[in-house]
Each structure stands twice: as C-alpha cells, then as structure tokens.
Chains A and B, each alone.
Chain A
Amino acid sequence: MENKNPLVILRDVCKTYRRGSQTIPVLQDINLEINEGDFIALMGPSGSGKSTLLNLIAGIDKADCGSITIGGVDITTLSETELARWRGLHVGFIFQFYNLIPVLTAYENIELPLLLSDLSKKERREHVEMTLEMVSLSDRSEHFPSQLSGGQQQRVAIARAVVTDPTILVADEPTGDLDRVSAAEILGLMERLNTQLSKTIIMVTHDPRAAEKARIIRHLDKGYLNADHKTYL
C-alpha cells in the first residue's frame, strides 16, 4: 500500500506569457495532487505546457494564479530569495542536457548544492561519496564532464540531484539525449530511487519507455491537464 500523503498540491494554477500587448495562455486551471513517493510522468505534444508546469513545481518559474503547496509550504508566496533557498533544500534537478558545470569535476559538480548548506568539508565529502557510490561512479569522481559519456554525465547529474536529500526530484526529458542502453540505465536508476528510497519524482517526457517506468501518467493539451490518468502499480 502506498502512503497517500499529498506532498505537492496545485490549486487553480495558471501561467500566461506576455509578448508586448499579446497574452498567450500556457497553462490554465491546473489542479493536481502528487503524493509522497509517486513517480509521475507529464506528457503531451509540443506547446502543451508540460515543461512550464514542471518549472512551476520546481520553483524556477512563478505562477500567475493559484497556489502551489509543497511539503506544506505555499511556494507562490515566497520571495525570490526565499524561493532560492527553498529550492536548494527541497528540489533535485535532472535536465535533458545534464547541465553539469564543465570546469568542475564530477565530485565538485555533485558537491555544488551542498555549498549552499552549513555542512563542513568532511560532511560534504561523506554525502558526495555516498551518492557517487549510489550511481556507481566512484572511480570517475575526478573526471571532468568532457571526459564522461552522456550516460555517465546524467548519472553525475542524478547524484547531484539527490545529494541534498531533496523533497522532490524534477526531471525534464532525462533520456532525451541518450542512446537506448544509457537511457535504460538512467531510468533504472530513477526507478530505484523511487522504489527503494521513496523519492517523489516528477518527470516530463516524450519517451514512451520513460513513461513506462513512471507509475502515474498525466497528459497535457494546450495548457490543460487531462482529467483521466493512467496509474500503474
């Protein structure tokens, strides 16, 4: 039995883009609940607003209406500074193009979010080494991203995403730039994070194989969230 605690609650959320005098609605009337431990995939055609929705949940974009409550905190009421701090503690990011810092080693990339905390160097080391172990890259910790394959870079990115033990993991097309084998690896890793470590994962994807790994699939169309959803156990 899953734990039915709503971790993420979106109520009447909308987002519009302004271009001069024109306003283009990107998201409208979004109401969504994500429970702790869910692995949810957001799918939809290009322009459906799925990435925007992910950005709102992740706290890197601001909603124009409604409320977004995560772990009891309504992030729409937070100031920019408070939001940044909140992100550092509660959100782990996995991007399509890994977004690793090229001049930092794998170790340093993973350590990066911890620099925002008060942990001592020794404590940071413990966390980083643990996550390196988790993604099976302990032997590559001193390598730079340019020296790693796509799959390896994404694994470093995942390690970086979980090193702070965040409340939610958001992934935007995590397998978009990977070949079949690496993609499978990454998805397997994410699945383990969800099943073994109860990480709540919200993923945007085109990839049906990725969607398969998620147990809940929601579709977006022209800015609206479709009511029906598939749930896999």
Chain B
Amino acid sequence: MTGRRVVSIFLPQFAMERWLRAMEQAGNAAPDDLPIALATEGTHGPVIHAINRTARQSGIQIGERVVDMRALCPALQVEYADLQGDRRLLDRLMLWARQWCPWTVTDGVNGLILDTTGSDHLFGGEAELLREIETRFALLGFSIQLAVAPTWGAAWALARFGPVRAICEETDLAARLAPLPVKSLRLTHDTVVLLHRLGLKTIVDIAAIPRLSLARRFKRADLKDNPLLRLDQAMGRMAEPVSSIEEQPQFRIVCRLAEPIQDPAPYVPNLCVDLCSQFEAAGAGCRRLRLMVYRTDGEVSAVTVATSRPSRTAEHLARLFDGKLERINPGYGFDLITLEAAAIEPITLAQHCLDGGSDETLQLSHLIDRLTARYGPRSVNYPVLYESHVPERAQRWVAALDRTPGGTATVPLCDRPIRILEPPEEVRVLYDLPEGPPAKFVWRRQSLQVTRYSGPERIAPEWWKDRPGTRLRDYFKVEDQTGRRLWLYREGAHDDGRGGAPRWFLHGMFA
C-alpha cells in the first residue's frame, strides 16, 4: 500500500503543439490544412519526430525517414525539431505544475508526474483536479491525457492506455491494470515483442504467470526490460517516489511600502545593495536589471537598464537608473517596488594589479554603461575591423553593449592610410600619364604635382554585394611636391566597358 496519489500527464502532441504555438506567436500561424512534420537527424538522414493532424491524415508516420514520407506526400512541410527547446519548455511546465502540488517531475520527453497526495481537496477532489489540469493545459495550447493512481507506473499506464481522466483507487488497482497491454508497463520495444511472441499480451497475462518463472527469465534484465519489476512498480510492490527538483534561484528584491509614495528613487540604492548581496552569495552578476513599480490603481510600470559586462556593483547599478525614474508616471503613488535581474552570468574575481588597484577597463565599461543608459543603446558604438578589401567597408560600428569581448583582430593585408576621406573627393587631372597616377592634379583648389608613386593596388568590386556595373579601382600611393603622401585611386579602367573615361579620386592621407 503506497498511500500516495500520483497524477501522470501525457502530452501526446507536445513537440508539434509547441511548434505551432511558437509559429502563432510569431504571427506566422501555419494553416490547418498543410501537412507539417518536425524532423530529427537519424542515422540514415532525417526522421519524422512529430506531425500535425493533416499530416497524420495524409498517412505520415512518426519514426519513418523524411525522404520516404515526402514521396508519400510531396506537399509535406518539414521543419527541424528543437529537442532542447522542448526539453526546456517541459522543465518550465513542470515548475508551472507546482500550482497543484509541491512535488512534480518530468517523465520522458512528453510527460509529467505530479504527486498530488493530500492536495486534491484544494481543488474540489480528484475529478475536479484532473479537469482543472486539463483545462489549464488546453489554455496553453497543449492537449493532454492524464490519470491519477496510487503509483507512478499505474498512472502512466492509465494516462496512455486507459479511459479519459482515469481515477484509480488503491483497491481496484489490479483490476484496472489487468486489461491494459504489456506496452503500458514502460518496457522497451524488444521486450514487448518478446512478450507478444510468448503470448503475453496484457498485464493480466503476466500477472498470471508464476512469479518464480518470470524471475527465472528476467532476474538480470534492466528495469526497462524487466516486466516483473515494472509490474511491481505499477502495483505498488516496489517504491518509486516522485523526487522533485529544486527551482533555479531567482534574483528578485521586493519592497513593500506602508504608504503609497510618488518617487521610487530613494529606494533604488538599497534595493541594489540587497540584490548585489544576493549576487555575491551566488558568485554571479547581471547584465539586465528591471525595476517595476506597482501603482495603487493597479497599473504597473517598468524601467530596464543593461550593462556591457556582468556587474554586481550596487553603486554602479543604481546610477544606471539616474534620470530614468522621472519618466514613470506616479499617478496616485505606488506601494510595491520590485527589482529583478536577468541575463545572469557568473563573475570570476581576478586581481588585476599587484597592489590591488582597480582595472582601467572596468572603469571604461562603467562609463559605457552609464552613457548607454543615458543616451540609448544606439548612441554608444565601437569601431571594429572588418575583413573587406574595399577600404570604406573595412570597418564597422557596433553598439557598445553588443560587443563581444576579445573580438578577432584582423589586420588589413596592405598598407592603409591613417585618415580616410568619406566620401572620396574627386580630383581634376591636369596632366595624365598612360600608366600610373596623373602627373599633376587639382584637389581642393590646390594644384599638386606627383613626384613619386607606388602601386597600383587593384581592388575589384565585391561582386556579391555591389551593383552590377560597379567599376574596379586602382589605388596609388603618391607623394606630392611638398612631401605629403596621398592615396589616389582611379575608378574604372579605359577598356572595362563600364561607362566613360575613368575618374580620379583622393581617398586618404598617409602620415
């Protein structure tokens, strides 16, 4: 006698329903009449993992190869299944299910187990509880089958092979399980086939075999191949407790106020200090912070700030809210403030200087955070080198907050001037030479004479990016009569058939 009540929840369409829900949320809901399948990589190419209703009606079968099924139904749309995403969502659902009882675990890839011993009365009895669970899942967009029984095994079997919302009492456990197929004992396919060949097709068939004979044959088999142990589990002769796992810690500070107030600013530093002490205990820091104020009239406002690297300096975090809190409309005031951290990353402490002094770059990141908080993420940018032969494309700006630390440093292959004119300035050629740069040209109304040059460096347009008809450039390093070194280029060649005579531009100056 176990004395426990276990609910088994089976989500037969879990992966597909999650995918459909995600598509719907993305505003890209898949039409009902389109056969859709999710696939995973198998040993011989992708294999069907989940299908929607239309696909099932078209004869698509789970576990078959995608190519075979495509041949069967050419209209089949195949997407890759996100197994990890499914896993994560199931984990979240498991926590979410703790609204009904404190002990919940996931069961396989598409099931949940709830130990509802003693908590069903809160919902008006087991029948009501099951109905409530089913309704709540349906609202989330998941169809489920579920059952409650004294053991995990029995609940599992009844949820999958029993009647709708089966409720099995301890006294009729054996009778309820008897007609179910051996498959419902959570056995591997091979064992099920073996039992079938032996003529043992239902649980009652197995129960009828003398225990000794079964033990003789399955004593050493693993649990998942062992009908005897599985039957014992289902019948409650062998314990199988629901061992619930702990939730991830949440970094959240709640401040309840006795009186509604108008300005949250004075509370922020203390909230940050409290939060940072939590961080310190966990050895982590955050890159996003959200302050929420709950107004007495039910309105909620939120302010979010971000940092460029994980931080747990209370003072610094508090300063990021400067000037942002005024934007909150206090209305009649608010009586609840929460501070939540997101994007938690571990911080490893490292001493940077022998004398224990602080690190310069840390200061810089604080500055970046403050500037970004003040002027918006698009206002603070970093230049990064980018691998392109075209000079004006050789660098890019990225938002400081998005910068990944320690990016690849790429050095241009050829000499580049210290200053580049953007855009290049056209020069007027006074005296042209057949090869090389012009001997004399006018730039910004100065007449310059080329005394020395090197080149050309030919840079062709990036064919995958540039408009067709873009001309190539021949770059020359030239030195004028005063010793200034300039970077000139000729756009196009005489015989390239892309427009008229080539034009000359000045693109930069060397030191």
The answer to whether A and B belong to the same complex is no
